[in-house]
Each structure stands twice: as structure tokens, then as C-alpha cells.
Amino acid sequence: MTSQYNKYHSIDRAIPEQTLVWNMYGAGEENIGKNGKPELLPIPKPAANQMLVRVDSVGLCFSDVKLIRMGRKHPKLYNRDLTKEPTRLGHEASLTIIEVGEELKGKYYPGQRVAVQPDIYQNGKSTAYGYTIPGGLIQYHLIGPEMLETDEGACLLPITGDMGYAEASLLEPWGCVLASYTQRRRLDPKDGGVMWVIGRPGDGREYEFTKGLAAPATIILTDVPGTVAKLTDKTSATVVVRNKLGPDQYSALAEEFTDGKGFDDIVMLDPRSGETVSAVAKFIMRRGTLNLVGQTPLDSLVNADVGRLHYDYIAFIGCQGPDIGASYGEQRNRCELKAGGTTVFVGAGGPMGQMHVQRAIELPHGPGRVIATEVSDLRLAALQERFGPLAARNNCELLTFNPQTNDKSLHDFVMEATNGQGAEDVVVSVPIADVMAEAGTLMHKDGMLVFFAGVPNGTMAHLNLSAVYMGNAQYTGTSGLSLNDQFQVMDQAAKGTLNPGRSVGAIGGMNVAREGIQAMIDGRYAGKIIIFPQFPDLPLMGLDELQDIYPDIAEKLEPGNMWTAEAEEALFEKYWKG
């Protein structure tokens, strides 16, 4: 390491008396800071159950825009008066512990580096860092029970090895990306739950139920074949028969047996009507399953709640039967990109979309072809410049497509690239229901559609759920992350199978943090914007601008203007004045 980088790591300097801070006093960019500038406030001493931390780097995240727009009305602020109790943006934070209170000594120590897991819950209530708890757009702040005594324990991740500060900030967004390819859905009937089995009058098929029927405590039967009724008689569940129900009676049934919360598991046998499936799907419990079993496609698309797919982890599973239990379990329901297949990334040009593209290209046994689609030619050019060489090294074909400037449709482009078969995986980073629905038409018959971008619960889109039981298609979505997801990112980075630093698109110092927020909103840079709070005067600049401004830093970048640990060291050599 360079001398300045070593000095910074060593924390061998006096603690300043004051800290620069970008407090947020209300909705709108104009309420971040005071008169467009950060404030200078005293640095407090930690109490016995607190620590003083230095903020080393902060990634700016587009999810902050909702907070900026809504102010006190944001769900995680619980209508608090921000003029009296301001918050701070910056939940992608890399920290160094500077001073430890008496009660915490032995658990933490000065000089220890940590990253924040911001998705915090206390007593079941969301108190996220960067939202309810003021975040990292400050040079120094205190950490206490609000972050150390959460429902999951301390929300700090010790940084191991020689990971750079910018990389450590990106553990949070990268953790969200990795989380979207891990199984968050419940894929088996719930023990002690309520199951509703719906048949089709006249269906004489001989069904089996080899897995999962013993789990529920209550089973409601509606118009099921006699073979299914006999199977339930062999269980210890309370069995209730309610035949000839119409959609206008479903709500009352859910109220009677689930207090209106929805059924833990629903099974539909030989479902023929898309309209009926649409009506039934409204009554799936959070993390519940809808198991479709049949050999005939639905007569229409299903109007599904794509917000709930993302936030509530509801699972659409199925098979052709006759074994109803064959639909359940991870063996049939994958969540990872298919090896050697084609993956389409919708909204690939933004910072999070680029992370998905990078992960797919770097993934061992990953897809053989990546199609990145975006409505900006500039973003697509930047994506090709950044990841084209990486794709070539990893024997992955990288194609880019702008549906607004191309004569053919995205559907036609994907079908031509896949010989009419469709993509094995489609990942959507655009929170628009129509785009989500269109993405489903790009899939292979056993493809997977991942809703990474979240839309509010109640946002409906028409999906081809026939493909779930006829061809084993998957519809998934995830929200948030855990400490384990961030550990996975750090582990993969240490092994060299993932390089979080490649996601950096621009850097800046504390004084330009608000400018960086506006640049993020405007989509000015292709990658993530990293703020270094300890460098007040570092200008905001894209990595592609470094060659003209700081060529000595630019020469340390990887081809395609990719951030590196060596570039970060060169930055500290120039800017750290400690």
C-alpha cells in the first residue's frame, strides 16, 4: 500500500472536533443540507453502549429517490417531523471504528473495518439505516443499540482481507443482486397451515399426492375428484368440504379460515380458466404457494400481482401430474441462471442492471449468451465498453439491444438469437408492470423470470401461468438482503469469482454529495456513484473523465475504465491529508 493509504488505515490521527454532514430536513433535493451545502456539526463522544465510526465511502442508491420524493410520508419514516428530527441518506456505507464505549470493548476495537447491513428490524418494525436511522452521508457518527441490538443481532459486517473502501460500500447492493438468485420462496406446504384444494367438476383423473399433504392442519376441498378426497381422509388434518364456490365467495372463505390473511397453500387441479386463476391468486398468503396441476393450457393469461411476487415471495409452482406433490421442492423450482443458456437483462444500463450483467458474465457455469436491453444507446455503449472484454475472456457472448432505436421488437430480437426458443432466463430491473409482462413473452418454455425491480403490491400484470405447469416456467422476485448475502459477496470477491469494484462509475467527495444525488437521478453515469466523505473537495467525475483530470489515477484502472484497488490507493495518495 502507498504511504497515505497506510496512514489512513492506521487511524493514527486526532479525532476532529467537527464533522461535515448532509442532513435531510424534508422532501425534495432542496431540503438536503443547508442552502445547498453540508453542515459542520460537533462530533459527539460515544456513551458506554456506543461507538464512534468514520465513514470511509458511501454508494448512492436510486432507492433513495423515493425517500427524497416522499419525505416524512415515506413508510420507513413513520410520518416524523424531519424539520425537528432529520434523517440522512446513504445506506451503502463502509465504516471504520474509531472509538469504542466501555460496554462494547472486547466485541469491537478501534481500526476495525465494517460494512452496514441496512435492512434493519427491531421488534418486527423496519428501522433501516439511511431511512429511519440516519445514514452515511456524514464523516463521523455514533452507532449504538439501534444498530447493534436488532432482531438479527448486530447489523455490521466485519471486512476481512484487503477489500477496498469503494468495494466494501458495494457489498450492500451486490448482496441484493446475489439474493435475487437464492431461494426466498417457500416451496413446500406449510406445517400446520391452511391448504385449499380446488378441483374442476367432471375431472375424473386419478391423482396422487406423494409429498406435502401431511403438512397442513386444515384442508378445504372445493369440487375435488373422489381420489383426492380419499387421500385427505388419511391425514390428521381437519378436512372441510365447500363445493360450488364462485369467485364472489372466495373472500368470505379466506375470512372464515384465515382471518382474511390468505391461504398458506392453494392447489388448483386441471385449471382451465385464466380468469378463475386470477381470482384465486389474490388469496395466497405472504410466502404462500399456488400449485397448478394440469395438462391443458389456460384459456387466457393470468392477471397476477407482480408487486407481491417481489415483496411477498408468493410462489407459482406446478406440474402436469398426476402426482400433485411433484410440484414442490427446490429440485423442480430453480432460482439460479441456467448454465450455457441465454439470459436477457431488461433495464441493463443502470447501475443495478449492470451488476446483474457483470455477475452473469463472471458466474462460473453461467449463461453462454447475455442480451442486455436498454432504451439509451449511450448506456449500452458504456456497458459494451465495460463488459465486452470481460465477456470475451469468459467465453460469453454479449449482445446489446435498444428497442426504441431498432426496427425490430425486443421479442423478435430474442427469438432470432435463440432460434425461436426464447431465453432461459429474463431479469427485469425496470419497475413498470407492462415491461414486466412483456418480459414474460421472451422466455423459453421452462424459463425463469426474475422481478428484481419492485413495484407496489397491487400492481397487476398479465402472465402466462400455463407455462408454469405445462413447461416448468419460474416467476420469482426478491426484496432486500441479509448479512449472509453480503458475506457471500465478500467471499466471492476474495476467491476472485466476483469483482464488486467494477460497478463503480463515478467518484466524488463530501461537498458534491448532493450533486451526486442529482446526477444519479438524471442517470448521468452508467455505474454506481461512490462518495468519499473524508475528501471534502474531491470533484464529482466519471471514471471515463479521470484520464483528462487525474491521469495518474486513470492509469490504475482496468480496461473499460473499471475501478481497482490500485486506483483507490492512487486516489488516497493524492487527496488524503491526514
pLDDT tens per residue across span 28-61: 999 999 999 999 999 999 999 999 999 999 999 9
> For residue range 225-259, what is the model confidence (pLDDT) as tens digits?
999 999 999 999 999 999 999 999 999 999 999 99
Supply the pLDDT for residue 5: 83
Using the Cα atoms of residue 136, residue 138, residue 139 and residue 141 in order, give the sign of their dihedral. negative
Q: How many CA atoms lie within 13 A of 540 on its CB side?
A: 18
Whole-angstrom distance, CA of residue 516 vs CA of residue 59: 10
What domains sit in the chain, N to C, each tagged with a CATH number?
15-180+484-544 (3.90.180.10), 194-327 (3.40.50.720), 342-453 (3.40.50.720)
**Dihedral over alpha carbons 163, 93, 502, 578 (to 10 degrees):** -60
Whole-angstrom distance, CA of residue 100 vs CA of residue 349: 42
**Average pLDDT value for residue range 156-165:** 90
**Average pLDDT value for residue range 318-337:** 96
Supply the pLDDT for residue 321: 94
Whole-angstrom distance, CA of residue 464 vs CA of residue 300: 8
Supply the pLDDT for residue 565: 92
Please give the span between the terminal C-alpha atoms of the chain, in angstroms, as a whole number. Answer: 16
Whether pLDDT at 518 is above 80: yes
Residue that has been written with the C-alpha cell 405445462 in this structure: 470
Supply the pLDDT for residue 198: 98
Whether pLDDT at 200 is above 90: yes
At CB < 8 A and 24+ separation, what contacts does 248-255 make? 250/279, 250/280, 250/282, 250/283, 251/283, 253/196, 253/220, 253/283, 254/283
Whether pLDDT at 205 is above 90: yes
Does pTM surpass 0.75? yes
Whole-angstrom distance, CA of residue 264 vs CA of residue 286: 8
Write the CA distances from 511 to 166, 255, 521, 535, 553, integer angstroms. Answer: 18, 55, 18, 8, 20
Supply the pLDDT for residue 1: 56
Supply the pLDDT for residue 2: 61
**Average pLDDT value for residue range 366-374:** 97
| Cell, residue 40 | 459542520
Whether pLDDT at 310 is above 70: yes
Backbone angles phi, psi at 22, to 5 degrees: -105, 80
